[in-house]
Amino acid sequence: MSTIGLCQNDDGDGCGRVFENKPGEGLCAKCRKLGTLPDGSNEYNAWKGYAQCIKCGIAWKNFQGGICGTCEHKSQCSEMEEISLEQRAQIAAEATRKAHLIAVDSRLHKHKEPSPLHNTAALDAAKANSAISAADKDKILITFSCRVKTGRVKDTVDFSAGTWGKAWAKTDYISEVIDDAVATLNLGWEKREGMSLLVNEVELRWSGNKVLMPNTLGLCVHDFIKAHTQGSEGFFYDLSETKGKGEKSKKDGVPPVTVALELYIDRAAFVQRKEHMSAPTLKTTLVSAIKKRRGTDSIFNEHGAVGRADGMVSSFVRTPRILSLEQVTTSQVSLMRARVVCDAKTGEVDISWPGGDDNVDEYIGSIGDSIFSSGKTKHVYKLTIKDDLLVAKRFFNCGNGINEVTAAENESSLIAEITRLKSTAWLLEQFKGLALTNNVDIHQELAVSEAWLFRESNTVPSKASGLSDNVFASAVWLVEPRRTKSVDKYSSTLIHPRHGDKKGITISAFAHYVYAINKEELALADIQGSLVNIEGIDTVVLFDIMFHTEEQDSGVGDHGPAGIKTFADQHKCTYMCEALGLEMMNEDELDED
C-alpha cells in the first residue's frame, strides 16, 4: 500500500489521516503549517480549528470543509475521461440549455435598476418616466410584421402592411392579441382591398416564419412566451432573434421584453371569399317565412344580406380595457346555488332551488358594480368567489324592450339558458361517441362552458342586479368561468354559414347531428365559442347557444319552425356529415368538384 497519502513524517509525527490527493510523502499541509507556529499561540489555535480538504489535506480560514475546488475539478476530469464523446456533448448541451433558461427567466422578470438622481433635470425626467414604468413594468412589447401566402415556392414579407407594436400585460390572452393585430392590419388592408381580412384567414407565427408550438394559442402572453422560449425548443424560438438589427438600447419606460411575431395571410382564401361574395345570389323567400318578434335579432342586421353566410363576420365588440383600478367598485353578495342535474341517459335537465329542509350552502362573493361586457340581450359582470374568477350574466332585454326585464322574466330566461347549455353539452358527448363508433376524424377539442345558477340572498339587491331596494324579489345570475373576450362565431340566429376548416366543419356537422336526432324539430343557432387552454390543450368552449324549436319555447331567440327552416335551407353538408351516416342535405357544390 502506498504511503504517499499518509500524513506522517520520519519521526512519526502527524495527524495520521490519509489524503489520496496529497502531492507527496510526509505531513499534510495543515500539519506542516502547525509545525511552524508556537504551540498554544492564538494563531496556532486558530489554524488548528480550520477545516481541511478530505482529498488533499489543504486548509485555510474560510474553507467550509469537504472537497476543495482543485480536487473536485480533478474528479470531474477523471469522470469525463471515462465517458464517450457523445455523452460529453450531451452534458455540454444540457449546461448550455440551463444557462439559456436562466437568461430567459431573467429577461421575463428582471427590470432595470433606477439610476441615481444627481440634479433637478434628472429628477424631473425620472418623474416623467416613472409613470410609464409603473404602467409597463409588467408588460411585454409584441411587434408584428406580415407575410403573405402567394402560392410560390417562397412566401414573401408584405412591406406594404408595415410593422407595428403594442405593449400587453402578461395576463392578457394571445387570442386577444391576435384579434387586435388583425384589427390593426385591417386599417390599411381595407383601403387597398375594399374588404376586411377575417381572423381565420390569418395565422400567427413566430418571427422568421416559424410555426408555433401546438396548444399555445389559448394561453396568456407570459405562458405563451415561456412555452416557446424555455425547454429544449428555446434554441429555435429564441428571444434574442426577435430584436431587429441595429436596434437602439432599451429606453426607460419601454417593457423589458420584446417579442416579434408575424401574421401569415392566406391571400388565396381571402380572394376566394371576396369573389364568392361578389357573385350574384338567388333571392331568398326567408323574409316572408318569418314573423319577427319584438326585441329579437333581425335577419338583416348581419352583413346586409339575407342568407349570405360565407362572409359572416362576428358582431362581437371588444370592451375597452379598464386601466385604472380606482374606477372599479364591487359589492359583496351572498349567493345560493340551484341544483342543476342533466340525466346521463336522456339529456333531460332538472333544476330546483334548495327548500326549507335542505342544507343550503351559502357562497360569499364580490361582484362588480359596472358592466364588464354586454351583448344584445345580456349584461355581464365580474364575479369572484374565493379564488375563482367568474362572470355573472343577467338579461336586460327579453323582447319587451331594453331594461324592461322583471326579476321573474330574468330568472325564467336564465333557467332556459342553462338548460340549453346542459343539453348542448350532453348532445356534444353523444356526437363525439358517434364519431368514435364510425371512426370519423373530427375536431375533438370542443367543449361547452360550465355554468351554474345562483340567487342572491342579500337583504338588499346588489347594484349590478338592477333591482331597486323596494322590489320584493331576488336577483338570479347565470355564472360561468371567466375567460378571454375574444369570440369566434360559427353561426348567428338565422344565418348558418359554410366552413372550410376542420374545426368549423366539425361544428357544422354537430349542428346537423342535433337537427337529425331531434327529428328535425330542433336546430342549434348562434353558435359561438372562445379558445381556452384546458389542461394544456387549446379547446373551443361554446357558450350562449340558442335553439329553434317546433314549440318555440326554448327561450330568447327561438324563432320556432321558421328558424328551423333557415337551418334546413342553409346548412351545407360535407364529407363529415356523410361519414357520420347523416342524411345528406344541400350538399356543398365545392365538395362535388
Q: Where is pLDDT greater, at 311 or 495?
A: 495
Strands 202-206 and 257-265: antiparallel
**151 in a structural domain:** yes
- pLDDT for residue 273: 81
**Residue 31 pLDDT grade (very low, low, confident, very high; cuts 50, 70, 90):** confident
In the chain, count H helices and then E strands.
Answer: 14, 21
Helix intervals (H) in 138-243: 174-193, 221-229
Average pLDDT, integer, range 429-453: 95
Residue 95 falls within a domain, yes or no? Answer: no
pLDDT at 67: 85
- Three-class DSSP labels, 446-470: EEECCCEEEEECCCCCCHHHCCCCC
Neighbour-count burial of 317, counting CB atoms closer than 10 A to its CB (0-12 exposed, 13-18 middle, 19+ buried): exposed
Least confident of 187-191, 208-212, 494-498: 187-191
Rounded Cα gap, residues 494 and 310, in angstroms: 13
Q: What is the mean pLDDT of the segment spanning 279-294?
A: 38
Shared domain for 334 and 251, answered yes or no, is no
Alpha-carbon distance of 247 to 240, in angstroms, equals: 12
Q: Looking at residues 54-65, what average pLDDT do you find?
A: 82
| 233 and 365 share one domain | no
Task: Clarify whether residues 224 and 349 are in a common domain.
Answer: no
Q: For position 132, what pLDDT does the model report? A: 43
> Which residue, of 48, 82, 116, is where some domain finishes?
82
**Domain span at 167:** 133-278
- Which residues neighbour 194 within 8 Å (Cβ) at sequence distance 6 or greater? none
Does residue 299 lie within any of the structural domains?
Answer: no
Does the structure show a pLDDT above 60 at 184?
Answer: yes
Same domain, 148 and 69: no
Q: Mind listing the pLDDT tens digit for each residue in 454-463?
A: 999 888 899 9
pLDDT at 118 over 50: no
Of 44-53, 237-246, 394-403, 581-590, the least confident: 237-246
Give which of 367, 587, 317 is closest to 479, Cα–Cα.
367
d(CA 196, CA 590): 23
160 and 75 in a common domain: no
Closest-CA residue to 296 (of 566, 556, 563):
556
108 in a structural domain: no
CB atoms within 10 A of CB 240: 10
According to the model, what pLDDT value does residue 240 have?
A: 55
User: In this predicted model, which residue has the larger pLDDT, 191 or 86?
Assistant: 191
- pLDDT bracket for residue 416 (50, 70, 90): very high
Which of 13-22, 118-127, 541-550 has the largest mean confidence? 541-550
Cell of 102: 436562466
What number is the average pLDDT over the span 343-372? 88
Q: Which of 169, 159, 236 is nearest to 205 (CA)?
A: 236
The three grid cell numbers given for residue 107, joined into one nine-digit string:
429577461
Query: What distances in angstroms separate CA 354 from CA 336, 357, 487, one per listed residue?
Result: 8, 8, 34
Percent of the chain with pLDDT over 70: 74
For the chain, give the mean pLDDT.
Answer: 79
pLDDT tens, 225-264? 999 888 777 778 877 544 443 344 445 555 668 899 999 9
H or E element: which one contains 151?
none
**pLDDT score of 259:** 92
Look at 111 and 137; give whichever has higher pLDDT: 137
pLDDT band at 14 (very low <50, low <70, confident <90, very high): confident
The answer to whether residue 592 scores a pLDDT higher than 50 is no
pLDDT for 105: 59
Residue 560 and residue 550 in contact, taking contact as beta carbons nearer than 8 Å: yes
- Is residue 314 predicted with pLDDT exceeding 90? no
For residue 12, the tally of other CB atoms under 10 A from its CB is 7
Report d(CA 344, CA 418) in Å as an integer.
16
Q: Which of 8-17, 274-283, 551-560 has the lowest mean pLDDT?
A: 274-283
Output b/e per residue, 349-368; b: 16+ Cβ within 10 A: beeeeeeeeeeeeebebebb
Q: Are 250 and 329 in a shared domain? A: no
Identity of the amino acid at 325: L
Question: Is there a domain that residue 45 lies in?
Answer: yes
Q: How confident is the model at residue 591 (pLDDT cuts 50, 70, 90)?
A: very low
Residue 124 confidence (pLDDT) above 60: no
> What nine digits make up the cell of 322?
379598464
CATH number of the domain within which 193 lies: 3.10.20.90
Among the residue ranges 48-57, 98-107, 183-192, the one predicted with the least confidence is: 98-107
Whether pTM > 0.95 for this model: the answer is no
Is residue 474 in a domain?
yes
pLDDT of residue 92: 65
Question: Is residue 492 classed as helix, strand or coil in its secondary structure?
Answer: coil
User: pLDDT tier at 8 (50, 70, 90 boundaries)?
Assistant: confident
Q: And the C-alpha cell for 386? A: 374565493
Q: Is residue 525 part of a domain?
A: yes
273 plus 360 within the same structural domain: no
What is the average pLDDT across 13-35? 84
Contact of 248 with 199, CB cutoff 8 Å: no
Backbone angles phi, psi at 142, to 5 degrees: -110, 120
- Phi/psi at 8 (5° precision): -165, 135
Question: Taking residues 46-66, what's their average pLDDT?
Answer: 84
Q: Residue 593 above 50 pLDDT?
A: no
Q: How far apart are the first and last CA of the chain?
A: 90
- 342 near 349, Cβ under 8 Å? yes
Are 157 and 34 part of one and the same domain? Answer: no
389 compared with 67, residue with greater pLDDT:
389
The answer to whether residues 201 and 258 belong to one domain is yes
DSSP E strands in 149-256: the ranges are 156-157, 164-169, 202-206, 210-211
How many domains is the chain built from?
3
Q: Which of 4-13, 281-290, 531-540 has the highest mean pLDDT?
A: 531-540
Q: Tell me the residue length of the chain.
A: 593
HSE-up of residue 332 (Cα within 13 Å, Cβ side): 5
Domain boundary among 82, 106, 141: 82
Judge if 76 and 140 occupy the same domain: no
Q: Is the pLDDT of residue 83 over 70?
A: no
Question: Assign residue 22 a region: left if phi > 0, alpha if psi is -120 to 50, beta otherwise?
Answer: beta
**Does residue 122 sit within a domain?**
no
List pLDDT tens digits, range 501-547: 899 999 999 999 999 999 999 999 999 999 999 988 999 999 999 99
On the question of pLDDT at 72 being above 60, the answer is: yes
Report residue 590's pLDDT band, with 50, 70 and 90 as the boundaries: very low
Residues 6 or more apart in contact with residue 482 via CB below 8 angstroms:
382, 389, 390, 391
Domain boundary (47, 63, 82) is at 82
The CATH number linked to 350 is 3.30.200.20
| Helix, strand or coil, per DSSP, at residue 185 | helix
Task: Identify whether residues 415 and 357 lie together within a single domain.
Answer: yes
Report long-range pairs for 93-102 (Cβ below 8 Å, ≥24 apart): 97/232, 97/234, 97/235, 100/234, 100/235, 101/230, 101/231, 101/234
Of the spans 135-144, 266-275, 385-394, 400-409, which averages the highest pLDDT? Answer: 385-394
Residues 274 and 354 in one domain: no
